Amino acid sequence: MNAAAAVNSGKTYLGIEFGSTRIKAVLTDGEHRVLASGEHAWENRLEDGYWTYSLDEVLSGLAACYAELAKNVGEQYGERLTRVGCIGISAMMHGYLAFDEAGALLTPFRTWRNTTTGRAAKELSELFGFNIPQRWSIAHLYQAILDGQTHVKGLRRLTTLAGYIHWKLTGEFVLGVDDASGMFPIDGDKMDFDEDKLQRFDALTADRGFPRRLRELLPRVLPAGEDAGRLTAEGALLLDPKGALTSGIPFCPPEGDAGTGMVATNSVRVRTGNVSAGTSVFAMCVLERPLKGCYPQVDIVATPSGEPVAMVHCNNCTGELDAWVRTLAQAAEAMGAKFDTDMLYGTLYRAALSADRDCGGLLAYNYLSGEPVTGFTEGRPLLTRTPDAKLTLSNLMRAELFSAVSTLHIGMELLRDAENVALDSMTGHGGFFKVPEVGQRIMAAALNTAVTVTSNAGEGGPWGMAILAAYRIQRAEGETLADYLDRHVFAEANCCTLSASKELKDSFDTFIRRYKAGLPVEAAVIQMLSEE
């Protein structure tokens, strides 16, 4: 079936993902080829001490992203987009979206980026014997209870960003198992929230003025492939205010960006891993056995089909690197240079490959926000050097690229050394890998393993969500998600696997030793440069 016929017949699959800096929609055919895409840029804001997006921005961004997709479909295929085979919504995991009985938001959306729940995360981790990171939904809730925040008494529903959008479009209050695993610990055998830990939480909060059992507030958990509802008439108008899109379209379970990253890199089997690198960076390792210990640097989450995953999540990756790229672009533009974004990033990233082994003596920290892996609740980007250091473009770019993956290295080092976690493959995706080879080799140096990038790496999470939508409709009876990916999506994938050269690995090892030693300097800068 050609693309126009697929669009006309509705035999297509739509994945929409809400990332940190853009909302992107991808439309695929039944063979998972991308037919069209659309996107909408947005940014979080720091308001009253919390990183947030307004729900008006969420819904307007959803409509704007879909409108661009529909426009591109019309221009490319001469067809009006009126129906698709299945839709899937994914978004940044974790965070806190609290609603009352009528569905009204009780307090502004608190995103994964916030590091304001230290006491709650520590107490819950001790209570459960299970690491509860600061960004998890349950940590936000418990911190609000500890702080006596007034909105808590009216709380009747708690969900994530993907769960909220899915709820608005379908009326179904559900969540995919991967996204749910970033709200509260999951019982993998039952594919549901851990009942013992739910009861422990209820006992903990019973005398703190919290009037509800936690399970009453949380979404229903669904594994990949399950029926998650259908697009309502009201939801269709939210997605497409022009009214062309018909209601009744099936939905797959809404998921987190970690889950879609696993799908988009074929990393849902035991002993496979992937690393998603963009505004934040996280590595996922599908475990063959439970970890022996409980570590604050490691989350235990789940694949979209429920297998346990060790996740090392770092709040900061390319944000500071992008700021340097923009600054250098301004200098070039001031001199009349003409270039596009791909050329700019390609030129600057490739410059890093010719840097001095010690980055010329430069040391950089990319902490725009707090970084729990290294124990920071706030961040201050920092570039420092000795007076005789070699401040060149190549050394600057290598230092900033190394900085972007250094915290991830520290977390993954723990998994390797303390738990002997072994992987058969590590696949990368996200903006860090868009310049051919450079990000891949830098990441390989940081993780001390070969890194694979597929031809679809640039599509990332939205494409992974479209695959989950297709799996909901096209899977054979009893066909697992891992088998579906192997047989129907990646059987003929174009892959590139690269390792770091000895020079680059030695260079990173030199940098990371200085990086660890210099963390007290970063702490001192945070203390001195307090934000008003």
**C-alpha 518, offset from chain centre:** 28
Task: Look at residue 115 in the predicted model and tell me its pLDDT.
Answer: 83
Alpha-carbon distance of 119 to 143, in angstroms, equals: 7
- List alpha helices for 40-85, DSSP H: 55-77
- Is 373 part of any domain? yes
User: What string of DSSP letters covers 135-203?
Assistant: TSHHHHHHHHHHTT-GGGGG--EEE-HHHHHHHHHHS--EEEHHHHTTTS-EETTTTEE-HHHHHHHHH
Structure tokens at 524: 């001192």
Task: Look at residue 519 in the predicted model and tell me its pLDDT.
Answer: 97
Task: Look at residue 430 in the predicted model and tell me its pLDDT.
Answer: 82
- Is 447 part of any domain? yes
CATH number of the domain that residue 337 is part of: 3.30.420.40
Task: Look at residue 458 in the predicted model and tell me its pLDDT.
Answer: 58
- Is 301 part of any domain? no
Structure tokens at 358: 């010690």
- Is 233 part of any domain? no
Using only C-alpha atoms, what is the Rg of the chain?
23
Sign of the alpha-carbon dihedral angle for 463, 464, 468, 473: positive
- Is 101 part of any domain? no
- List alpha helices for 245-318, DSSP H: 257-264
Angle between helices 393-419 and 341-351 (to 10 degrees): 70
Task: Look at residue 532 in the predicted model and tell me its pLDDT.
Answer: 47
Domain count along the chain: 1
Element holding 527 (H helix, E strand): helix 519-528
Alpha-carbon distance of 392 to 337, in angstroms, equals: 20
pLDDT, tens digit only, all 532 positions of the chain:
699 999 999 999 999 999 989 999 999 999 999 999 999 999 999 999 999 999 999 999 999 999 999 999 999 999 999 999 999 999 999 999 999 999 999 999 999 988 899 999 999 999 999 999 999 999 999 999 999 999 999 999 999 999 999 999 999 999 999 999 999 999 988 999 999 999 999 999 998 878 789 999 999 999 999 999 999 999 999 999 999 999 999 999 999 999 998 999 899 999 999 998 988 898 999 999 889 899 988 999 999 999 999 999 899 999 999 999 999 999 999 999 999 999 999 999 999 999 999 999 999 999 999 998 999 989 999 999 999 999 999 999 999 999 999 999 999 999 999 999 988 889 998 889 989 999 999 999 999 999 999 876 556 789 999 999 999 999 999 999 999 999 999 988 888 999 999 999 999 999 999 999 999 999 999 999 875 4
- List alpha helices for 420-530, DSSP H: 438-447, 460-474, 481-484, 502-517, 519-528
Structure tokens at 137: 């939904």
Structure tokens at 50: 């919390």
Alpha-carbon distance of 113 to 51, in angstroms, equals: 6
Q: Residue 416's domain spans which residues?
A: 319-455+496-528
- Is 278 part of any domain? no
Sign of the alpha-carbon dihedral angle for 296, 297, 303, 307: negative
User: Which residues on neighbouring strands pair with residue 428, listed in sequence order?
Assistant: 275
Helices (H) and strands (E) in the chain, counts: 18, 22
Alpha-carbon distance of 329 to 326, in angstroms, equals: 5
Task: Look at residue 1 in the predicted model and tell me its pLDDT.
Answer: 65
- Is 261 part of any domain? no
Sign of the alpha-carbon dihedral angle for 522, 528, 529, 532: positive
User: Does the predicted TM-score (pTM) go above 0.85?
Assistant: no
Antiparallel, parallel or unpaired: β 308-314 and 495-498: unpaired
- Is 72 part of any domain? no
**Residue 363 Cα distances to 95, 339, 377, 378, 396, angstroms:** 32, 29, 21, 19, 9
